[in-house]
Amino acid sequence: MSDAVYIGNRIYLGKDSSVSDVGSALVTGASGGIGLELARIHAKRGGDLVLVARSKNKLRQIKENLEQEYGVSVMVIGADLSDSKSPQKIFTATEIAGVQIDTLINNAGFGGHDLFHERELKAEQAMMAVNMVSLVSLTHFYVAGMIARGGGRILNVSSVAAYMPGPKQSVYFATKAFVNSFSQAIAFELRPHNVTVTALCPGAVATQFAKTANMENVAVFKQARSAESVAQCGYRAMQSGQLVAFNDAKLNFFTRIVLPLLPRKTVLKFSQRLMDKQA
Catalytic residues: 172
Start-end of H helices in 118-226: 121-128, 134-149, 170-190, 209-212
> Virtual CA dihedral for 168, 170, 175, 180, nearest 10 degrees?
90
Q: In 3-state terms, what secondary structure has residue 42?
A: helix
Q: How far is CA 104 from CA 54, 75, 85, 100, 157, in A?
A: 18, 14, 18, 11, 11
Q: Is 8 left (phi over 0), alpha (psi -120 to 50) or beta?
A: left
Are the CB atoms for 43 and 66 separated by under 8 Å? Answer: yes
Are the CB atoms for 9 and 242 separated by under 8 Å? Answer: yes
Return phi, psi of residue 179, to 5°: -60, -45
Shortest CA distance to 41 belongs to which of 77, 63, 70? 70
